[in-house]
Amino acid sequence: MEEIIAWAARAAGGEIIRSFKASGGNRRQSLGLDVRLPDGSEQALFVRHDPRERIEGIEPYTIAREAEVYRAIAPLGLKAPRYIAENPELRAVLTDRAKGIAEFRHLKDPVAKQAIAHEFMDNLARLHAAREVSLDGGLSGRIADHVARDVALWQAMYEEVGKPDPLIELAFRWLHDNLPDPDGSPVIVHGDAGPGNFMFDDGHLTTLIDWEFCHLGDPMDDLAWFSMRCVMEPVPDFRAALAHYEAAGGQKIDRARLLYHRVLVSARVCVIRHRNFAGEPAYAIVSRGLNRRLLIEALAAASRVVVPTPLPVDAAETERQWLYDRVIAQFGEIVIPRSSDSQVIAVAKNNAKVVKYLKAIDRYGSAIAAARAEALARLGPLDRLPFEQALAWFAQDTLWEAQLSAEASGSIARRHYDEI
């Protein structure tokens, strides 16, 4: 990081007076920097850095791509990071840093939350209305062609891993078979839009962040991302936010296309986890349980299939359950309250989630394995099942997985997509 900080100081034309590690992103490392300029003024800067020495595979979402996006959106008048410099050798990009935080769940005032969501929609509508965009050759071609290329890219990123996942494969078959072909021109799409990827301060939006998945495509793609991110960090009135997007000059909501893109968004997230980008085990446990369940919900809604209610397994507590409970209690009652180190607290919370997951496996793991084996023997090869029957099976299997991660997930285990 020292080399990156020294480069940032040169690029900014000043002296670094403060640096700190910033949160956010699964693969990127981020630094906040305060710089004193020669005239005595100070500037708040932000560095995004890819720590991988070698970037292998077909995935195109590099730091160089992110820098290209920042340059492309600069003329649009959005609340977005202002590009300053890029260093290809260090795989780093430097922008300005807005005030505020990105943790939308920390804001408790529902009126302020809704107002910020509407300001976010103002910016999303402005982004989608931009017609002069110097990214990927500009806004030409059919929306369907851009979406088809995006589906093919993410499917190739999945296949590159070489580890089959029948649920992801079912999703891609459905996406290919149901590709919408709307009128109109493609737009520039943020690619990961919604709570958690914008910052706010004093009741107002300050900037949209994390543009690494930005591409040309269907505006409903961004609204699907907003829908996904509202599961994790809800807005008080989801439908009012969509209505505000339309009123702010955004494109007319197309429910069928929005539902299609919820499937694509859910599939993308499952592919990201499949590629094992999340290094923190607790996050991977919670994310897998949530996102596979959301993919089932998205497929059912978009295909208008009513999935039979799956049933959990039951199993008696083992003689070891008290050991897990004791360790969990010690994290919550001793380690966390007695620590002032934020990193120690974060590690303790994450490890407590892992122990909760292991506790569930100890109790339910054998029963779920037996139920799964019996069901698969009865069903036969999954790739030969009719779509509705396959979806019902994956709903059941996903429920069993979610049963193992439920205690570790907390309230997330009870979250669902908002109705559209």
Q: Please give the helix or strand (H or E) that residue 35 lies within, else none.
A: strand 29-36
| pLDDT interval class at 55 (50, 70, 90) | low
Pairing relationship of beta strands 83-87 and 92-96 according to DSSP bridges: antiparallel
Rounded to the nearest angstrom, the gap between the alpha carbon of residue 287 and the centroid of all alpha carbons in its chain is 10
Distances (CA, A) of 312 to 123, 309, 395, 397, 406: 43, 10, 11, 9, 12
Please give the structure tokens belonging to residue 289.
């349980």
Mean pLDDT in residue range 20-28: 71
Same domain, 210 and 112: yes
Last residue of a domain, one of 249, 277, 305: 277
Same domain, 121 and 80: no
The residue among 54 and 107 whose pLDDT is bigger is: 107
Which residue segment(s) compose the domain that 80 sits in? 2-96
pLDDT value of residue 53: 65
pLDDT value of residue 279: 64
In sequence order, what are the beta bridge partners of 43?
35
CATH code of 182's domain: 3.90.1200.10
The residue among 287 and 368 whose pLDDT is bigger is: 368
Same domain, 331 and 186: no
Last residue of a domain, one of 65, 96, 127: 96
Q: Please give the helix or strand (H or E) that residue 132 lies within, else none.
A: none
The mean pLDDT of the chain is: 94
Tell me the per-residue pLDDT of 182-213, one tens digit each, with 9 for 90 and over.
999 999 999 999 999 999 999 999 999 999 99
| pLDDT interval class at 24 (50, 70, 90) | low
Same domain, 56 and 203: no
Please give the structure tokens belonging to residue 361.
């496996």
Per-position b or e across 184-220, b if 16+ CB within 10 A of its CB: eebbbbbbbbbbbbbbbeeeebbbbbbbbbbbbbbbb
Tell me the per-residue pLDDT of 219-258, one tens digit each, with 9 for 90 and over.
999 999 999 999 999 999 999 999 999 999 999 999 999 9
Q: Is residue 419 part of a domain?
A: no
Whole-structure pTM value: 0.93
